[in-house]
Amino acid sequence: MTEYAGSRATGWRDAGSEDLDRSIQEHMEAGRKGAAARIARDAGRYEQALEWFRELDLHMQAGACLRALDRTEEALAELLREDPAGTAYRKCCFELIPVASELDRLDFDIDRYLTAFVDEGPRDRDEIPTYLQLAELFERTKFPRGAIRCLTKVLEAHPDHEETRERLKALERGDAPKETRSRGASATVRGLPPLPTLDELRALAREHAPSG
């Protein structure tokens, strides 16, 4: 499994402050702001690293810093700025899914952003837990078809994964929470126009009353 941006090198955490500052300064003077930002991040200087990652439009790395700072809402927005056509897209999805799950949020923009990630499916068994986490998020946010799509992709790549098979069977049987199964009816009720007030009804009655 690929080592994603959320992982942290530990070496700089043990470095002395002077050594750390010297190394960062050397990279900055050489025009290597990205390297300086990574050192700052690995040393736990997330605010400093965040500023430089943002200046470089490295949204995935900036999002990881925001998450480390417990600025979860901002982290989600930053991660969604990573180019889906870029080389960091897949790594970014592995950062984004836990953040969205923590916020219990899966709206149209997030669903659209993750479409290519879901369609590709897990590349190895180590990636399956993230797909299951996303499927669970789809269920919690009342999108069972999204959950079915995730689980199906896992089984296409790993047909022997029994947990996924059982969860998919349960969804296809309709063994979802009652809120999920009644979602269509509730949406229909919510979609109706508001009832007129008593004064509005009286005005309508006067308007359509027979003359004479």
pTM reported for the whole predicted model:
0.73
* 97 pLDDT higher than 70: yes
Q: Where are the domains of the chain?
A: 1-80, 104-175
Q: What is the pLDDT of residue 207?
A: 63
Mean pLDDT of the chain: 83
**The pLDDT of residue 182 is above 50:** no
Q: What is the pLDDT of residue 169?
A: 94
- For residue 91, pLDDT over 80 is answered with yes
189 vs 177, higher pLDDT: 177
Long-range pairs for 40-46: beta carbons < 8 A, 24 or more residues apart = 41/8, 41/65, 42/8, 42/9, 42/10, 42/11, 42/12, 42/13, 43/12, 43/13, 43/15, 44/13
How far is the C-alpha of 210 from the C-alpha of 29, rounded, in Å? 88
pLDDT of residue 93: 98
Please determine, for residue 5, whether its predicted confidence score (pLDDT) is greater than 80.
Answer: no
Would you state the structure tokens that stand for residue 196, as one six-digit string?
Answer: 């007129």
pLDDT in the model for residue 176:
53
DSSP 209: S
The owner of tokens 């290519």 is 116
Average pLDDT on 52-65 reads 97
Q: For residue 41, how far is the Cα from the chain centroid?
A: 22
